[in-house]
Amino acid sequence: MDVRKHLLMLAIGVSASLNAFSAEKTIEVPADDESNYSIVSVEISGPERIAVIKKASRYSVAYTRSDYDCVRMTSHILASGSTLESLSISNPDKYVVPMSRGRAMQYIGPAVCQYEATPS
């Protein structure tokens, strides 16, 4: 019976992992054809969004957690790292930048601002 419980818990964990993966929303970034970008999570508060973005390239994966002001069209990186866990120990950037700055940001910022909350 103990083995069955363990297998059931393992199956539930795999199912939850697959659901989390499928929840990522791909962002098309024509300016960077070497990487794949996706929205991992978004917290919505009025016109502001705090989003975790995943950038996967051939040799690495990087995550950023940023605050997007969808009225002023600016972004502020709050944390960055090679794993989701590393976001909790990273320091924020000093600067708030326009979403039009940088080849990827001009696509990521608007995609995050268009992101709508989905019912749970």
pTM for this predicted structure: 0.76
**What SS3 class is residue 20?**
helix
Partners of residue 43 on adjacent β-strands: 50
d(CA 97, CA 113): 15
Mean pLDDT of 28-55: 94
Q: Which two tokens stand for residue 8?
A: 């059931």
Task: Report pLDDT digits (tens) over 85-118.
Answer: 999 999 999 999 999 877 899 999 999 999 876 5
Least reliable range by pLDDT among 12-16, 44-48, 65-69, 80-84: 12-16
Task: Report pLDDT digits (tens) over 48-75.
Answer: 999 999 999 999 999 999 999 999 999 9
Q: Which two tokens stand for residue 25?
A: 């929303």
